[in-house]
């Protein structure tokens, strides 16, 4: 009989066969945040998920979205930008674990980012905010955060301008698949 405390891996993230910790990400310097960094972020997100730390797994996905990729890297063929992994976390976090409020997280994150690739990272955060609103409508926004929430049309325009080729299509397909 399986252990009821076990959870399934996120099918949209790689499943490393080694234990990982924060040092696996900290070994990357600011100017070395390409494909290897991206894959490490995804793997560490899976490790944190396995440890029932979904909020921290989402923070790893934040780091992955910030990787310095152009969109044509081979890693993205196997492991596309982790929008679908975010949906999985939001809809499958075990009861009683700390998930935080991803809607508020992405709302604040989008408003507080700095360089590098500020516009790309900002609009990815707003795209994640939209996913969070749709996947978990039970999470309220932050009424005290004085920022205009963008429309889906505005997010689409900005992802088209600043995201990878076909990133907007990926995001739209995931938004449409959320039930």
Domain boundaries, the chain: 23-177
pLDDT digits (tens, 9 = 90+) for 61-109: 999 999 999 999 999 999 999 999 999 999 999 999 999 999 999 999 9
Q: Tell me the three state secondary structure of residue 24.
A: helix
pLDDT digits (tens, 9 = 90+) for 117-153: 999 999 999 999 999 999 999 999 998 888 889 999 9
Share of the chain above pLDDT 90, in %: 78
Q: Tell me the three state secondary structure of residue 123.
A: helix
* Pair 83, 10: CB distance under 8 Å: no
Integer angstrom CA distances of residue 117 from 26, 68, 111, 173: 20, 8, 14, 24
Q: What is the mean pLDDT of residues 17-35?
A: 86
Integer angstrom CA distances of residue 114 from 57, 76, 122: 21, 24, 9
Give 24's pLDDT tier (boundaries 50, 70, 90): confident
pTM of the model: 0.93
């Amino acid at each position: 009989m399986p252990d009821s405390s076990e959870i399934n891996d996120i099918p949209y993230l790689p499943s490393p066969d080694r234990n990982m910790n924060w040092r696996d990400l900290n070994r990357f310097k600011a100017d070395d945040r390409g494909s290897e960094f991206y894959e490490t972020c995804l793997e560490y997100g899976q490790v944190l998920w396995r440890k029932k730390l979904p909020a921290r797994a989402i923070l790893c996905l934040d780091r992955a979205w910030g990787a310095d990729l152009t969109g044509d890297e081979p890693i993205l063929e196997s492991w596309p930008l982790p929008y679908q992994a975010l949906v999985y976390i939001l809809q499958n976090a075990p009861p009683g674990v700390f998930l935080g409020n991803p809607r508020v997280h992405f709302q604040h994150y989008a408003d507080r980012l700095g360089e590098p690739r500020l516009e790309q990272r900002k609009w990815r955060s707003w795209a994640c905010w939209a996913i969070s609103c749709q996947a978990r409508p039970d999470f309220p926004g932050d009424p005290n955060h004085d920022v205009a929430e963008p429309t889906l049309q505005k997010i689409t325009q900005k992802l088209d301008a600043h995201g990878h080729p076909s990133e907007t299509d990926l995001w739209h397909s995931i938004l449409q698949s959320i039930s």
